Structure 1
Amino acid sequence: PAVAADSQGNFYMGILAYSGTANGILVSKSVDGGATFANPVRLDNGGDKPYITVDPANDSIYVVWENDVANGQAIFFSKSTDHGTTFTSRTQISHHIGTNNGAIPSVGPNGEIYVSWGNFADTVWLQRSLDGGNTWLGSDRVVRSDIVQPRDPLNGGFRNPEIAASATDRSSSPRRGRVYVIWPDQRYGDPDVLLSFSDDKGDTWSNPVRVNDDVIGNNADQFFPWIVVDSSGNVHVTFLDRRDDPNGYLFGMYLATSTSGGTSFGPNIRASDGIYGPSGFGFLGDYTGAAAGGGKIHPLWPDARFGDEDVFSRPVDLADYDGDGILNDGDGDGQYADHRCTGGQTAGCDDNCPGTPNANQADRDGDLVGDACDNCPDTPNTDQADTDRDGVGDACDACPGVVGGDASDPDSDGIPTCRDNCPNAYNPNQLDTDADGTGDACDPCPFTAMNDADGDGINDRKPAEVKTLDASRGANGSALLSWTAATGADDYSISRGDLAALPSGSYGSCLVNGVFGTTFNDPAIPAAGRGFFYLIQAQNFDCGLGPLGYNSAEHERISNDPGACQGSPHTDAHANGETAVKGSVSGTYQDTTSSNNVRESITEVLSQGGKPSSRYDSLEHRWTVQVSAGSRVEFHVEGSRTNSTDGDSFRFEYSTDGTTFTAISLPDLPLSDNNTDVQGTLPATLSGNVTFRVVDTNRLPGGQFFDTVSVDELWVRTVP
């Protein structure tokens, strides 16, 4: 439900009713401060998310909600001008047809009505009425059309819808009439809260401002934002925030305040009494709420501290957030945290820990952040950056990117283990040519990325010794060779020599490079009384040839013959462009050109049109690669995927015309990013600018748990 009050002290509650066939949008009135409510008035059958507001100038009541229409959902409006006794018939105010969701109304100082909403995609919309809801704009205004949908679901299995909350400044401040809209957005790498404002009644909008002040890209979720403007014109944004839990599960209710009309925000403070988690049952609700009045803000939020989700509230004094007697704006200049207390000063300055009680304002490192809330109290770090969110700031954290990281230094190179790419090999320069996270000093394949799917610390692409080789004579005298497959082998090279020369140390000359498979037929027949010996070497295209094995004296065989096998050549081609068809994309195709753990990620989105129960999650992303034909052409992808409960499967395909696609036969992507090279064979004649795509093959209606495909490297390998 949503609640609003009029100037006479009556409360009105917007209700979403579920009771058999009587489902609908209702409004009920209380004249005794909420102790009792009268029988409700029905505004609509079906529908969702009824939000309500009252114009304090004339007590007109405005209600907005969403409901199904042909090909999607629309936003509807109804009003009452007789204190809730009757309401007008519903009016569809949205023109854009799609998955319109979460409409929020607000009233301007001259009776303007603004309604904002999102569309589960990339756009926030706004409608406006200047005559009390009798007429509306002929087309929806676009607030933003470049939103990057935040991940959904979030850790804990609950959904994270795009609710675009709005508020209007009715104060006597210089920003009177300014309209504000906030929304969740992932353009900076993880879910953040962004804000835009308009000074011309919603016709044009400011560039987005990031509200939350944690480190950009630290993977902390900010979600379910709400916004209120108080009687002084200050803007208060509340949101749920996981910055205090390095595991990204527990959350608290946070508050950010702007005294500059939304152009900037002061330090975020935690308004809740702790951090808590969801119930784990897959639903936390869709939004939070807040109200401001009497010098306080009253945020509302859900958490499951008692097992099931309940709703909590905790009043926060807007003049002194933490109640320690030191004012947020102690110097009275209209801004807080711009002239913070230091050197023991406690008056005439702003609280240096506005969300943590610290009456003495101690600040021993002099960085203007009080010791009570300073994550490096002995190391100056005014920005309080804490990349791994372990409560220890980057400025004093030996392992700033690793929670509880090992700070020891066994190789004495001055780099702690948690940051050393070769913790047991001296390498103070940390050189890592292939950018695979393993330094050249300890990388068995220093020029190609690490691949260690079995976790034994040995690069799986380094080809192993071929353990056994069998030879038999064919009917025509040829030699039939067969051998066991070697770990890490892409193909094999065969050396052949005169058996009589073996004792003198000869290891023969190269017979053939680039044998695919583990058998070979040598038609050559040795002269009478002579014999051949054969040696097999495994080749990996990334790491070269493997060992020849050991001789009878247990020495590694090293062939110094100028004709020794060099292995077959190859070329690797990476993406030169891409097209995002369906999905929320983080990163670009340029992140797929090397195995460096910098990934491009594509998250499923909700299909468009139809009722919610008929929609499904979908994904399609395309890359283009310039391919050369050869004796063998392979498709390779190193990446991973998530796996929720709705049975999604993903398939890679290729096309030479961008229209007709053929599936590539290759194993599924792993569920964790373990640097596994997943590969499949392409036609040897394939050439030109080829389009490759990944698609979600599941179209199960109602399957709305969004999975993500992450690609570290994607390439096509051609063997001439």
Structure 2
Amino acid sequence: MIYEDGGTDKAWAAAGPRPGIPDSTRLYVAYNYGLQYSDDLGDSWSAIKNLASGVGFLPRIGPGGELYISYWDGWSGIKMQRSLDGGATISAPVTIGTFMDGWDTGDAVQIPGDFRIPSIGSIAVDPGDGTLYAVYHDTTSTVGNEHNVDIYFTRSTDQGDTWSTPRVINGDSDTPRDQFFPWIEVDASGRLHLLFLDTRNTTQLDTDSSAFIDAYYATSDDGGDSWTEFRLTPSSFDSAVTGPGGGQFIGDYLGLGIGENCIYPVYPSTQNGINQIFSHEIVSAGAALFTDGFESGTADAWSFATP
């Protein structure tokens, strides 16, 4: 047990070397109460180290044991704190991206449906050169009364001191359809992998009582300069299917697992009439392309497991 309390929320973990000790393993857990770490595979844990006020603390570890923790400040943007000494000291927050629109944990007005869409971002670290990448969703523009929510991408090459100007990277970026809940990973070769939810395939209004949603996977071989997208869901799923606690609920974030040659996206869907979790196995295949009939782009990846 790391910590027991009824108010703990959104705990994420990361494991990697301690700074200056490449053969060591330190396990970090970050959550709304702070940061803790273990050097004995979880048998014992450090005292809680305070973090800034926010939601969705996501720890990532750089190739030299650098610790980066991204989080949503609860309203105006995505921020990050850093430790270069294994969590002994934590830096002041650095802003990764500032929202054009205000978001809170209960927001449901920017897109169709009646489920919450907290703007929890995601960061990843290149295990080779240490480049940091970040993604988050935000309103790009409004057309009439319709919000256009897109995926923003930015990167840092100086351990998070400065970040590139955030830019929209999803397709369908110039229409009032919505992309949200992004999750990013970097594999050992430096290739970027992105997962997000998307309403582009159905014409809808923000005031509609439900949303028809798809899961999309995208990949980049040039550090995020260009992306190729795949549609993962065979058909759009309906958010109106009752969630676990009653009412509409499709979670607060997605996830990606990265192996040596395989990528495993994990996302919610109601395509079978109930709330379920789905995954695929996407296998790197060099310059060749093999598809299972659901993808809408071309890339050197092969998704062979149906959802």
TM range (shorter): 0.7 to 0.9
Aligned with residue 151 of structure 2, among 167, 173, 193: 193
Match of 1:42 in 2: 2
Shift of 1:127: 0.4
Match of 1:316 in 2: 282
Aligned with residue 235 of structure 1, among 169, 188, 192: 192
What's the CA shift string for 1:4-47, capped at 9, x where partnerless?
A: xxxxxxxxxxxxxxxxxxxxxxxxxxxxxxxxxxxxx1324222
Shift of 1:87: 0.8
Distance in 1, Cα, partners of 2:59 & 2:100: 21
TM-score normalised by length of structure 1? 0.36
Question: Which amino acid letter does the alignment assign opposite residue 42 of structure 1?
Answer: I
Question: Which amino acid letter does the alignment assign opposite residue 122 of structure 1?
Answer: S
Task: Answer yes or no: is 1:58 the counterpart of 2:24.
Answer: yes
Distance in 2, Cα, partners of 1:352 & 1:311: 23
Aligned with residue 260 of structure 1, among 201, 217, 222: 222
What's the CA shift string for 1:195-241, capped at 9, x where partnerless?
A: 1111111111101121201141x221111110000111011111011
What's the CA shift string for 1:506-534, capped at 9, x where partnerless?
A: xxxxxxxxxxxxxxxxxxxxxxxxxxxxx
Aligned with residue 141 of structure 1, among 88, 94, 109: 94
Asked whether the 8 Å contact 2:116–2:249 carries over to 1, the reply is: yes
Match of 2:124 in 1: 167
Report the 3-state secondary structure (helix = DSSP H, G, I; strand = E; otherwise coil) of the residue aligned with 2:32: strand
Distance in 2, Cα, partners of 1:352 & 1:301: 19
Match of 2:45 in 1: 87
What's the CA shift string for 1:445-488, capped at 9, x where partnerless?
A: xxxxxxxxxxxxxxxxxxxxxxxxxxxxxxxxxxxxxxxxxxxx
Report the 3-state secondary structure (helix = DSSP H, G, I; strand = E; otherwise coil) of the residue aligned with 1:63: strand
Shift of 1:272: 3.0
Distance in 2, Cα, partners of 1:121 & 1:47: 20
Distance in 2, Cα, partners of 1:155 & 1:215: 17
Asked whether the 8 Å contact 2:285–2:301 carries over to 1, the reply is: no
Residue 283 and residue 144 in structure 1: after superposition, are their counterparts in 2 closer, same or farther (change >3 A)?
A: same
Asked whether the 8 Å contact 1:43–1:89 carries over to 2, the reply is: no
Question: Which amino acid letter does the alignment assign opposite residue 36 of structure 2?
Answer: S
- Kindly name which structure, 1 or 2, has the bigger radius of gyration based on alpha carbons: 1
Match of 2:145 in 1: none
Shift of 1:80: 0.5
Shift of 1:324: 5.0
Residue 257 and residue 354 in structure 1: after superposition, are their counterparts in 2 closer, same or farther (change >3 A)?
A: closer
Asked whether the 8 Å contact 1:119–1:162 carries over to 2, the reply is: no
Residue 356 and residue 180 in structure 1: after superposition, are their counterparts in 2 closer, same or farther (change >3 A)?
A: closer
Report the 3-state secondary structure (helix = DSSP H, G, I; strand = E; otherwise coil) of the residue aligned with 1:120: coil
What's the CA shift string for 1:101-138, capped at 9, x where partnerless?
A: 1111100000000000112322211100011111111x
Asked whether the 8 Å contact 1:103–1:164 carries over to 2, the reply is: no
Residue 53 and residue 147 in structure 1: after superposition, are their counterparts in 2 closer, same or farther (change >3 A)?
A: farther
Question: Which amino acid letter does the alignment assign opposite residue 184 of structure 1?
Answer: H
Shift of 1:252: 1.4
Residue 112 and residue 356 in structure 1: after superposition, are their counterparts in 2 closer, same or farther (change >3 A)?
A: closer
Report the 3-state secondary structure (helix = DSSP H, G, I; strand = E; otherwise coil) of the residue aligned with 2:68: strand
What's the CA shift string for 1:159-217, capped at 9, x where partnerless?
A: 0101011110003xxxx11111111111233111101111111111101121201141x
Aligned with residue 158 of structure 1, among 115, 119, 123: 115
Distance in 2, Cα, partners of 1:193 & 1:308: 27
Aligned with residue 130 of structure 1, among 38, 62, 84: 84
Asked whether the 8 Å contact 1:120–1:149 carries over to 2, the reply is: no
Distance in 2, Cα, partners of 1:310 & 1:355: 29
Asked whether the 8 Å contact 1:55–1:107 carries over to 2, the reply is: yes
1:306-455 aligned at under 5 Å gives the runs: 306-319=272-285, 323=290, 353-354=298-299
Residue 65 and residue 135 in structure 1: after superposition, are their counterparts in 2 closer, same or farther (change >3 A)?
A: same
Match of 2:67 in 1: 113
Residue 353 and residue 136 in structure 1: after superposition, are their counterparts in 2 closer, same or farther (change >3 A)?
A: closer
Residue 103 and residue 250 in structure 1: after superposition, are their counterparts in 2 closer, same or farther (change >3 A)?
A: same
Asked whether the 8 Å contact 2:35–2:48 carries over to 1, the reply is: yes
Shift of 1:352: 7.5
Aligned with residue 287 of structure 1, among 247, 250, 253: 253
Shift of 1:251: 1.4
Match of 2:35 in 1: 77
Asked whether the 8 Å contact 1:296–1:315 carries over to 2, the reply is: yes
1:500-511 aligned at under 5 Å gives the runs: none
Question: Which amino acid letter does the alignment assign opposite residue 62 of structure 1?
Answer: Y
What's the CA shift string for 1:51-97, capped at 9, x where partnerless?
A: 01111652211000114xxxxxxxx1000000110111111122xx4
Aligned with residue 56 of structure 2, among 89, 102, 126: 102
Match of 1:251 in 2: 213
Distance in 2, Cα, partners of 1:303 & 1:242: 13
Match of 1:303 in 2: 269
Shift of 1:247: 3.3
Report the 3-state secondary structure (helix = DSSP H, G, I; strand = E; otherwise coil) of the residue aligned with 1:205: coil
Residue 319 and residue 245 in structure 1: after superposition, are their counterparts in 2 closer, same or farther (change >3 A)?
A: farther
Asked whether the 8 Å contact 1:271–1:316 carries over to 2, the reply is: no
Q: Please list every run of 5 or more consecutive structure 1 residues that lacks an aligned counterpart in the other structure.
A: 1-40, 68-75, 326-350, 358-720
Between Structure 1 and Structure 2, how many residues are aligned? 274
Question: Which amino acid letter does the alignment assign opposite residue 197 of structure 1?
Answer: R
Report the 3-state secondary structure (helix = DSSP H, G, I; strand = E; otherwise coil) of the residue aligned with 1:233: coil
Report the 3-state secondary structure (helix = DSSP H, G, I; strand = E; otherwise coil) of the residue aligned with 2:11: strand
Q: Please list every run of 5 or more consecutive structure 2 residues that lacks an aligned counterpart in the other structure.
A: 18-22, 143-147, 206-210, 303-307
Asked whether the 8 Å contact 2:29–2:59 carries over to 1, the reply is: yes
1:640-655 aligned at under 5 Å gives the runs: none
Asked whether the 8 Å contact 1:251–1:276 carries over to 2, the reply is: yes
Distance in 2, Cα, partners of 1:128 & 1:44: 25
Asked whether the 8 Å contact 1:166–1:182 carries over to 2, the reply is: yes
Report the 3-state secondary structure (helix = DSSP H, G, I; strand = E; otherwise coil) of the residue aligned with 1:134: coil
